Structure 1
Amino acid sequence: MKRRAAIHIISAIAAGTAIPPGAIETLFSGLDDSLGRPLGLSEWEATVHEYGQVVGTLPAGELIKDLIADIVAVGELLNRPNSTDDRAALMRVNAGLAGVLAVDFGDVGEKRAARMSWAAARQSADASGDRDLRVWVRGKAAQKAFWTERPDSVVAELASEAIGIADGTPSAGLADAYAARVYVAAARGDTDRVDSTLDDLRRVFDHLPQDTNDQSALAFRESQLRWAESYARTWNADPRAEVSLEHALSLYPSNAFAPRTNLALMKAAVMINDREIEAGLQHAITTMENDYRRCAGRAQLVKRVLHTLPGNARTLPAARELHAFTTAT
């Protein structure tokens, strides 16, 4: 059943059609089955780490097939009637795989599949008993819920759950949760909430171990902190936005296409706010032409750039050209 569901999902993604109803549920149906004693858990953990390193450097959806195949394999391990000594470790692996899969599903616009994958990640993390992981799947899901334009109430609930489970213990997931709150406050134009939540985020970040070599999805790095600051300052027309953007950009490697492109779009908004309207529009258009990759929130950012335009500039040919990208991202 699971292999058939995996084939249906892969075929649908390849054909650009909707994932068949029930396929995602079938894919994760082994979570409640009896657990066996899997071999090679360290290899599985390394695999999750590797996925986390590359998920932001490849075109959206590139990892879906491999992730699905690995989730099927983990599901088969879950069904082995043997010792349950490795149950917690296996659940951690499944949570990590499901979380990265949810990110990739969201980036290709498969919102329901992303939602179901995040639910599976939360279920697995809770079963693992790993508090930091439980916080991470909720904090990261809160961020991604914002970028896939789910209701603010959903973002707020996920972030609050993460913060509640963390109970003051600093972790990457707790930082993700506060970052999600920053995005919502900035989108609403709530300057006071932006400032206070950024302070919360910085306090958490200051207490995190900073391993510059850890590029996994379960890490929170300075680049992400500066990205959140840049986002908040850009949409609140903060005069520090340009400096913040340059700082954030300098922290991302050249192959981090999605965050660098999104920062470039914010730069276009800053230029428009500085009355460099034509130059800002052209910067945004060039940015979109140079990075064809889809990612969650890209259309949202383009719309926000257009929203910064004064009324008489929204009919400019360049504005119409940029608007065309909102239906193609």
Structure 2
Amino acid sequence: MPRVSGPVDPSRSLWHLLGAVLRHWRECQDLSLKDVAKEVLVDWSLLGRWERGERPVPRDVVKRLDDYFGGDGVLIALREVALTGSASTPVAGTPNVQDAVDMDKLRRKLLAGVAMVGVSAVVPPMEGLEHLRAVVDHNVGASGLSEWEEVAWEYGLQMASRPPAMMIADLSLDYLAFQQAMVANASGHDMHRWRRLNARFAFVLADALGSAGHARESRRWWGSARRAAEQADDHEAMALVYASEAVQGLYEDRPAALVLSRVDSALALTSGRPCQATARALGARAHALALVGDHASAHESLDQQARVFDALPDRVTRDELSMDGWPEFRLLHTRSLVYALSGHSAAARAQREALAAHPSGRPRPTVQVRLHEAISAVRDGDVEEVLEQARRTVEGLGTNVNWFVLRTAQWVADAVPPRERSRSAVIDYREQLTLSRGET
């Protein structure tokens, strides 16, 4: 068995990092220096020096080593990064972004993870690829404002269909990269656009965290989104943050008084003007009032919301894809839920209209309306049958379930008549919901 060499500290330099990866891969295959040197046609003592980070690896040799270990370009990329990182003179015009952390040390720490990747890896660690991309951007120019606007717009589209837990990691990394770009590039006449985009990223991240069930984190991010919108002096964005936080707060069991205060803040900013923020805020008010039992006021808020919807411009009501739209199915969805919670006699009709209006390809809101039907049915029908159907409906979403769906499913159990709540079917249903959201 080949002797295991002493450790290499990958944090000393990028050449030490490359050597640490090379040694890790060799020892994972239980090979000696001489075994590898023979296959790649080099002197084994030179190979040892490269592993110890004592000398740069020639381009042709690193290519043979990468091919031999099946590295899929990892060693080649590391060599290019090491060459760039070793340069003593920075390229003119390169931004120096070191607000809270030493970015060079951070990159080295992230890159050190490459050393833990076995030779069977299909691609290099994502952090390593990001570092390589940073080197490329260093030479060709970083992403501009218009590119970041497109990234934010695309995340807004994904909110309706992509599982939020899967989206958060990508979104947070892109938001960090955006922050670096904003610090380096935001100035003069473009400053307002950068700040508005900053508020939009914070809004989407807050919304995604809440959708994934991370209530504590989302509350903090709603605060960040509010401050970002204030910095941008964008009253409509501020109103939308308040209204959306109110909607999400209803699904997180936040106090009704707090939710209604957020609604009031949103409406004060819009002065009741027909816009998406006003429509959302009125829907949140109707929902909150239905939960506390003020059904008459809840229904009046729905009527106000309908009047706002009728006055919205076509570009808003016809936009069924992006987060900037507020189409008719949102109006009907809110009415379906509020009528179910308040026991309105027209609940069944409202639910049919909502189901008919929901666009195809968006299973989550459709499942929610099915649960609205269950809220209405469980009061009068066979509790066990209704709960079983509701459970299967939620399970049908698989990994695409989010917190809004799970909380709506809990409202189904809350609607069970008090005399029926001790039944085993009700207890089992609640326990299954608890497990499905990862609680113990």
TM-score (norm 2): 0.63
Q: What residue number does 1:219 align with?
A: 325
Aligned-pair distance for 1:194?
A: 0.6
CA distance in 1 between partners of 2:182 and 2:146 (Å) = 16
CA distance in 2 between partners of 1:238 and 1:130 (Å) = 38
1:139–1:162 Cα contact (<8 Å) kept = yes
Is 1:324 the equivalent of 2:403?
A: no
Q: Percent identity?
A: 27
- Shift in alpha-carbon separation, 1:41–1:163, aligned structure 2, 3 A: same
More relative contact order, 1 or 2 (CA 8 Å, 6+ apart): 1
Write the letter of the residue equivalent to 1:154: L
Q: What residue number does 1:200 align with?
A: 304
Q: Secondary structure at the match of 1:102?
A: helix
CA distance in 2 between partners of 1:285 and 1:82 (Å) = 49
Cα RMSD for the two superposed structures: 2.4
Is 1:119 the equivalent of 2:223?
A: yes
CA distance in 1 between partners of 2:314 and 2:177 (Å) = 33
TM-score (norm 1): 0.83
Q: Secondary structure at the match of 1:48?
A: helix
Q: Secondary structure at the match of 1:216?
A: coil
2:266–2:281 Cα contact (<8 Å) kept = yes
Deviations 1:25-49 (A, max 9, x none): xxxxxxxxxxxxx963333223222
Q: What residue number does 1:40 align with?
A: 144
2:199–2:225 Cα contact (<8 Å) kept = yes
Aligned-pair distance for 1:84?
A: 2.4
CA distance in 2 between partners of 1:310 and 1:89 (Å) = 53
CA distance in 2 between partners of 1:139 and 1:128 (Å) = 18
Aligned-pair distance for 1:81?
A: 6.5
Q: Secondary structure at the match of 1:271?
A: helix
Q: Secondary structure at the match of 2:161?
A: coil
CA distance in 2 between partners of 1:77 and 1:221 (Å) = 34
CA distance in 2 between partners of 1:274 and 1:172 (Å) = 36
The farther-off stretch of 229-238 and 43-52 is 43-52
Q: Secondary structure at the match of 1:79?
A: helix
Q: What residue number does 1:313 align with?
A: 420
1:281 to 379, 387, 390: 387
CA distance in 2 between partners of 1:213 and 1:143 (Å) = 20
Q: What are the ranges of 5 or more consecutive residues in structure 2 without an aligned counterpart?
A: 1-99, 111-141
CA distance in 1 between partners of 2:334 and 2:371 (Å) = 14
Deviations 1:252-286 (A, max 9, x none): 23332322221111111222234243432222121
1:285–1:321 Cα contact (<8 Å) kept = no
Is 1:145 the equivalent of 2:249?
A: yes
- Shift in alpha-carbon separation, 1:76–1:172, aligned structure 2, 3 A: same
Give the 5 Å matches for 1:82-231. 83-211=187-315, 212-231=318-337
1:288–1:325 Cα contact (<8 Å) kept = no
Write the letter of the residue equivalent to 1:140: S
Aligned-pair distance for 1:154?
A: 2.0
Q: What residue number does 2:408 align with?
A: 301
Is 1:266 the equivalent of 2:372?
A: yes
Aligned-pair distance for 1:177?
A: 1.0
Write the letter of the residue equivalent to 1:239: S
2:161 to 57, 77, 91: 57
Aligned residue pairs: how many?
299
Q: What residue number does 2:358 align with?
A: 252
- Shift in alpha-carbon separation, 1:199–1:82, aligned structure 2, 3 A: closer
Write the letter of the residue equivalent to 2:415: T
Q: What residue number does 2:349 align with?
A: 243
1:302–1:325 Cα contact (<8 Å) kept = no
Q: Secondary structure at the match of 2:148?
A: helix
2:338 to 232, 236, 252: 232
Aligned-pair distance for 1:312?
A: 4.1
Q: Secondary structure at the match of 2:166?
A: coil
Deviations 1:40-95 (A, max 9, x none): 33332232222122212122312112211221122112322763211111111111
Write the letter of the residue equivalent to 2:413: L
Aligned-pair distance for 1:316?
A: 3.7
2:186–2:194 Cα contact (<8 Å) kept = no
- Shift in alpha-carbon separation, 1:223–1:273, aligned structure 2, 3 A: same
CA distance in 2 between partners of 1:222 and 1:48 (Å) = 24
Q: Secondary structure at the match of 1:254?
A: coil
CA distance in 2 between partners of 1:232 and 1:41 (Å) = 41
Q: Secondary structure at the match of 1:63?
A: helix
Aligned-pair distance for 1:321?
A: 2.9
Q: What are the ranges of 5 or more consecutive residues in structure 1 without an aligned counterpart?
A: 9-37
Q: Secondary structure at the match of 1:61?
A: helix
Q: Which has the larger radius of gyration?
A: 2
- Shift in alpha-carbon separation, 1:214–1:242, aligned structure 2, 3 A: closer
CA distance in 1 between partners of 2:248 and 2:320 (Å) = 21
